[in-house]
Amino acid sequence: MGVLRGSHTDGGAALVVAAECYGTMPRVTSSRLLGRLDTFRGWPGWARATTYAVAALALLLVVVTVGAVVMVRRPLPETEGTLTVPGLGADVEVLRDARGVPQIYADDATDLFYAQGYVQAQDRFYDMDVRRHVTAGRLAELVGPAAVESDLTVRTLGWRRVAEREFDLLDPATRSYLESYSDGVNAWLRGRSVTAMSVEYTLLALGGLDYKPEQWTPVDSLAWLKAMAWDLRGNMADEVARTRLAVDRSPEQVDELYPRYPYGRHATVLPDATAAAPAPRATPAWATRSSGEQQDREGADAVAAVRDHLASVPALLGTGDGLGSNAWAVSGEHTVSGEPLLANDPHLGVSQPAVWYQTGLHCRSLGEDCPFDVSGFTFAGFPGVIVGHNRDIAWGMTNLDPDVTDLFLEKVEGKTYEYDGQQLPLVERDEEIRVEGEGTRLITVRSTRHGPLLSDVSRELSSVGANAEVGPDAPERGNGYGVALAWTALTPRPTADAVFALGRARDWDDFREAARDFAVPSQNLVYADREGNIGYQAPGDVPIRRSGRDGRYPAAGWDSRNDWTGRLVPFEQLPSRLNPAEGFVVSANQAATGPGYPFLLTTDWDHGYRSQRIRRLLEARIDAGAQLDVRAVQDIQTDTRNPMGPVLVPYLLRPLMTSEYYADGQRLLLDWDFDQAPDSAAAAYFEAVWRSLLRLTFHDELPASLWPDGGQRWVAVVSNLLRQPDSQWWDDSTTTGVIEDRDQILAEALEQARDELTRRLSVSPRQWSWGRLHRLELEHQTLGRGSAVARALLDRGPEPVGGGGTSVDATAWTAPAGYDVTTAPSMRMVVDLADLDASRWVLLGGASGHPASPHYTDQLGTWLAGRTLAWPFSREAVEQAAEDRLVLRPGG
């Protein structure tokens, strides 16, 4: 979203010039420059005037450049020496390593989290500020009208309102940690000018924004959990898509595009769970009880329009099929050290600054007043450690992805809605949205018993279905269909308690007790400890639906038989296992249990290509008698094998190409090992074929909003269709008098891919490489799509990468848009429970949010190379790695 005014481009350009030239430009003082003019005093007048003008311009350029350098570097934090910080009770030490990662040492928890707030603000305050504006529905205050739609949606959902209610539910200790963290952020803010906070504020000021950040509050931190839950909310996008498809397709055709989880081929997280025959799939309750096709289409249109407006909310963690994670733990019986190893790499959106923030929080003496000695990853704006380890246990997370949302179609009439034959009043509240440069907008948020009406976000939806012909079971609707959202995250829960409890946990029992409060988003928690145990726990609030409802389609809100029961899956019955017999546990968003599990978690699991590959690599080493070490685990994390390769390539080698030109591409697949290294020509050709195949097969049959992205679900879809050479999906509906079959489409895809790579890369396949197509760019979250100046200053890349969305090294891309990376491993970590100082980690980006900092992206090269960095934990190791030492000292 662009925010810079064109009239300020030159000033911004000076910032970029300064950033690029700083440290290499010769120092020329004004006295030296003017002194050199004496040489030219004897020249003609016009020449002297020209020379004076050139000199003046040169001097002006020097002044502007130096000034720009100062503005770019001014926000860089002090990381050495001593700072007096009012509010601390005693000295706090902040030791930073060569990558600028802070390890904080304090005597009590109050000072510890106070210092964490201060240090995070030093490195990432603009990032924190943007996130709190997004989660409060106040982004338009910063960036203007472009963010109004996002604010409308977030205000309708009421993220911050829920967070305000959650604060009162928290344990007193958690509330005190959040308050101390806020005090630390505000101590950093105190007396600091906006231009000293970040260069982004300087750029916004050049664009005309008059802004001063507010004080940080605990609710600002809590609201982040709502954004996290929103991006990881489950199958709502699939629910909307199925609704649109159901209007024109039979249930069987829809199911072909949403295959069941392959329980017979891909193991679940708990592979020995009792299996049973799959339950029949529910049909759309709202459609089967309506009056016919017209009404069905209106409902689908209403739901689809809501989807378009929900997409306006910035995806702070990322979106799409590539959003997922890998995590696994291996017991000591299979490791070199004899103690467990734990690995984790969450796959989130690619952006700058980095999604995660690395930190260590250390009490100098552990006790009731200071129970933390923990290190790992958190989010800028949230205290504690979300994922990592303490001195006793380690834990990783992947998205359980249960179905915790349902859309309800509501028959709205004026200020009422129908429910079981009665007209009930809508609950209303007013919201005020301030828009930078435009003033204030007032909206009214309306809710039914099921949740807020998302359809109110869009004015054009207010008349959907209002004038349609309807049957006797659908009375006159003054405002037509509304679409309400039921979502577990809209019920206040003390999830923040779980974050700090995990940091304090000492064993499996503590760990499970902490997980009990991890309500939303529901995560797979993978566990290991220094006593040799490994385990798995699925926490979270998962609704129990009534019989016959599986959450795959929106429900008819006017019929109480479609309501949730009001009960949640009991924590004691959520999937859990300590020390599985296999000696390892793998979680990569696949099904957690078999279909015999007594509760419905979701019908839209990831199909398990990544998890199955990880299992096979582990089993191969174990079966060969090899023991794993940290390096072996890292090798698995960066595995680039494409699971579709061995399935599709045999079919692609069948067609006889019409010329040597086209055969050149096909021959690359003859000896391809299915790995997708950046330098692989075969991988480049295969992915171009895959993209063409999806386009030729489905674009003629589906609306553009539902075109295949090429992710794991489409691997399953096409794998099934390959066994059906005459399926109607192969036929191109745009050709008349011709019915295409599988082999014709495959041959055409091979030819189109060859032509595409010739245009994009080279006529010679020897010049092709996957990395030339598949590139990673870290784009600034708010200003990266603005002016060229902002992009040059704030963005990084593009860089060639390997892997793909269904590889373990999950660098996803979206087929309709191209090959650029959309989600990727946002960090990688491997914890060695035998020697915590031997653990490794790396961030996609860097610790700092300041583009002038050497730590802005100084971990990117390591990440691209598939390597990791030392992760010191003990005081001795931290001291040895430290390059900067800052003491925060209490003062008045």
Show binding-site residues: 239, 403, 406
Retrieve residue 429's tokens: 């509240």
| Plot region of 566 (φ>0 → left; ψ -120 to 50 → alpha; else → beta) | left
CA 368 to chain centre: 35
Retrieve residue 416's tokens: 């009422």
**How many whole angstroms separate alpha carbon 57 and alpha carbon 526?**
62
Cβ–Cβ < 8 Å for 358, 847: yes
**How many whole angstroms separate alpha carbon 177 and alpha carbon 497?**
10
**How many whole angstroms separate alpha carbon 794 and alpha carbon 885?**
28
Peptide bond into 798 cis (omega under 30): yes
Q: What is the DSSP letter of 711?
A: S
Question: Which positions are catalytic?
Answer: 325
**How many whole angstroms separate alpha carbon 670 and alpha carbon 676?**
15
Burial call 463-501: b when 16+ CB within 10 Å, e when fewer = ebbeeeebeeebeebebbbbbbbbbbbbebbbbbbbbbb
Beta bridge partners of 543: 568
Task: Write a three-state SS string for 440-478.
Answer: EEEEEEEEECCEEEHHHHCHHHHHCCCCCCCCCCCCCCC
Q: What is the DSSP letter of 633?
A: H
Residue 447 has φ and ψ, to the nearest 5°, of -135, 150
**How many whole angstroms separate alpha carbon 536 and alpha carbon 267?**
15
Q: What residues contact residue 534 under an 8 Å CB cut-off, 6+ apart?
A: 329, 330, 331, 340, 342, 526, 527, 528, 578, 579, 580, 584, 585
**How many whole angstroms separate alpha carbon 353 and alpha carbon 795?**
9
Beta bridge partners of 545: 564
Token look-up 């000072």 returns: 111
Of 128, 96, 88, the residue nearest 112 (C-alpha): 88
Token look-up 């992009």 returns: 791
Retrieve residue 858's tokens: 């100084």
Question: Residue length, the chain?
Answer: 892
Binding site as annotated, residues for Ca(2+): 239, 403, 406
Q: What residues contact residue 464 under an 8 Å CB cut-off, 6+ apart?
A: 298, 301, 302, 305, 455, 480, 481
- Complete DSSP assignment for 9-33: HHHHHHHHHHHHHTTTS----HHHH
Cβ–Cβ < 8 Å for 590, 560: no
**How many whole angstroms separate alpha carbon 217 and alpha carbon 132?**
10
**How many whole angstroms separate alpha carbon 803 and alpha carbon 173?**
44
236 SS3 class:
helix
Residue 255 has φ and ψ, to the nearest 5°, of -65, -30
One-letter amino acid for residue 483 of the chain: V
